[in-house]
């Protein structure tokens, strides 16, 4: 029997891309995606269910569909997109409901994959140059995003301890750049600016968006449990990021950085959320030996991820915004999936 997979955050970049990747996998029988809004990418056979952001109906869905794998991509890792209250709801309460559904007695769920972030290590002067999966963070969580992610991870590790018969995979991703993903860093770089803190030029890591999707697929396919850091190899200086992307480095004062950042932010000139501000001071590096030893091969280095973004950005600048973007039409999608009029040749 093939696998039955449920993906959260189908309407986000991650959920959509992961669903697309898994659709091509013949060993996956059924794909189901949850989202608060409509999917943003064209999907062949993934079923879409609209839910609230904390997944209160998740346990009913799991019972009804008998999924064996849950891929939890709907974790918010940037404080610019949603207010703090909502961030907590999405990350902590959403994960709590998800794990409750996955841990119910007699449940069909065998594997849970969670997409976390290297933000859980924080960024401070006391950091080691490279964090391994076991290195404890030296500083207490300083920002709202970090606090909620640390809480999510403790929920996940509790779940893994209570359910030793289930595979729990936790992936911690470095900051992502690539051709399509929109993050505060990419938004800055698109405007050809990059905020920095005067006198600081730390070493940072990036991971390319394709490697993110491929690594989620890798741990799902091979049922790899445990915690894995996912980041392109090597680190590069913050100033180099601006250099590769052709952006102007905008140094903010080292004292009163927050005030300056929120001033620029409210003028919509720069995006400099607190979690980036600390990163632009002390940087961060994670050791990815564990996931490469588990058979995963990165296609991009850290600098390669920045270069990949820069190339896509050059194209965007030349041809402008493409207008053939996908719009989800409920009726059309339902027709293709369920109408007896559609001839399904792929079915065996």
Tokens of 198: 């005067």
Q: How far is the CB of 281 from other proteins (least distance, A)?
A: 8
Q: How far is the CB of 224 from other proteins (least distance, A)?
A: 23
Q: How far is the CB of 300 from other proteins (least distance, A)?
A: 23
293 binds other proteins (CB under 8 A): no
Pattern 66-105, binding to other proteins, x per CB under 8 A?
Answer: ----------------------------------------
Q: Which residue in 76, 127, 210, 333 binds other proteins (CB under 8 A)?
A: 127
133 binds other proteins (CB under 8 A): no
179 binds other proteins (CB under 8 A): no
Q: How far is the CB of 143 from other proteins (least distance, A)?
A: 18
Q: Which residue in 282, 296, 298, 309 binds other proteins (CB under 8 A)?
A: 282
Count of residues touching other proteins (by CB under 8 A) = 18
- The interface region with other proteins, picked from 44-52, 63-71, 131-139, 320-328 by CB under 8 A, is 131-139
Give phi and psi for 249, each to the nearest 5: -80, 125
- The interface region with other proteins, picked from 18-26, 105-113, 191-199, 219-227 by CB under 8 A, is 191-199
Tokens of 135: 């290195």
Q: How far is the CB of 122 from other proteins (least distance, A)?
A: 13
Nearest to other proteins of 89, 201 (CB atom): 201
Q: Say how many residues make up the chain.
A: 348
Quote the crossing angle between the two packed helices 257-266 and 274-282, to the nearest 10°.
130
Residues of this chain, 249-268, that bind other proteins according to CB under 8 A: 254
240 binds other proteins (CB under 8 A): no
Quote the crossing angle between the two packed helices 209-221 and 13-23, to the nearest 10°.
50
Angle, vertex CA 170, rays to CA 39 and CA 105, nearest 5: 85
129 binds other proteins (CB under 8 A): yes
Q: How far is the CB of 321 from other proteins (least distance, A)?
A: 37
Nearest to other proteins of 126, 324 (CB atom): 126
Q: Is the dihedral of CA 199, 305, 75, 162 positive or negative?
A: negative
Give phi and psi for 117, each to the nearest 5: -140, 155
Q: State which H helix or E strand residue 318 sits in.
A: helix 302-319
Strand order through the sheet with 47-50: 47-50, 28-35, 3-8, 69-72, 111-117, 167-173, 226-230
- CA-nearest of 137, 129, 109 to 202 is 129
Tell me the CB-side half-sphere exposure of residue 347, using CA atoms within 13 A: 6
277 binds other proteins (CB under 8 A): no
**Backbone Cα Rg of the chain:** 20
292 binds other proteins (CB under 8 A): no
Contacting residues toward other proteins, per CB under 8 A: 125-130, 132, 135, 138, 197-203, 254, 282
């Amino acid at each position: 029997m093939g696998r039955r997979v449920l993906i959260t955050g189908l309407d986000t970049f991650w959920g959509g891309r992961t669903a697309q990747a898994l659709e091509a996998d013949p060993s996956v029988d059924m794909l189901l995606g949850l989202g608060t809004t409509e999917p943003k990418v064209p999907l062949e056979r993934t079923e879409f269910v609209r839910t609230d952001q904390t997944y209160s109906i998740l346990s009913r869905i799991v019972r009804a569909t008998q999924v064996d794998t849950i891929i939890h991509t709907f974790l918010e890792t940037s404080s610019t997109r949603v207010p703090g209250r909502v961030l907590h709801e999405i990350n902590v309460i959403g994960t709590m409901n998800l794990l409750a559904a996955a841990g119910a007695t007699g449940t069909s769920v065998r594997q849970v994959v969670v997409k976390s972030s290297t933000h859980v290590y924080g960024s401070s002067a006391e950091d080691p140059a490279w964090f391994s999966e076991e290195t404890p963070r030296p500083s207490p969580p300083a920002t709202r995003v970090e606090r909620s992610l640390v809480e999510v991870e403790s929920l996940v590790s509790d779940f893994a301890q209570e359910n030793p018969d289930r595979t729990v995979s936790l992936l911690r991703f470095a900051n992502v750049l690539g051709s399509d993903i929109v993050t505060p860093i990419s938004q800055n770089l698109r405007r050809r600016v990059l905020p920095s803190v005067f006198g600081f030029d730390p070493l940072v890591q990036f991971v390319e968006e394709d490697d993110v999707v491929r690594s989620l697929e890798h741990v799902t396919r091979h049922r790899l449990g445990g915690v894995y850091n996912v980041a392109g190899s090597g680190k590069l200086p913050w100033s180099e990021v601006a250099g590769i992307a052709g952006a102007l480095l905008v140094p903010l004062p080292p004292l009163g950085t927050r005030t300056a950042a929120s001033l620029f932010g409210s003028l919509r000139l720069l995006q400099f959320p607190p979690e980036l501000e600390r990163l632009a001071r002390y940087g961060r590096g994670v050791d990815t030996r564990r996931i490469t030893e588990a058979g995963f091969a990165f296609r991009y280095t850290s600098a390669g991820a920045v270069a990949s973004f820069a190339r896509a950005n050059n194209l965007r600048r030349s041809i402008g915004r493409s207008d053939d973007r996908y719009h989800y039409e409920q009726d059309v999608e339902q027709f293709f999936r369920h109408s007896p009029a559609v001839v399904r040749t792929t079915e065996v």
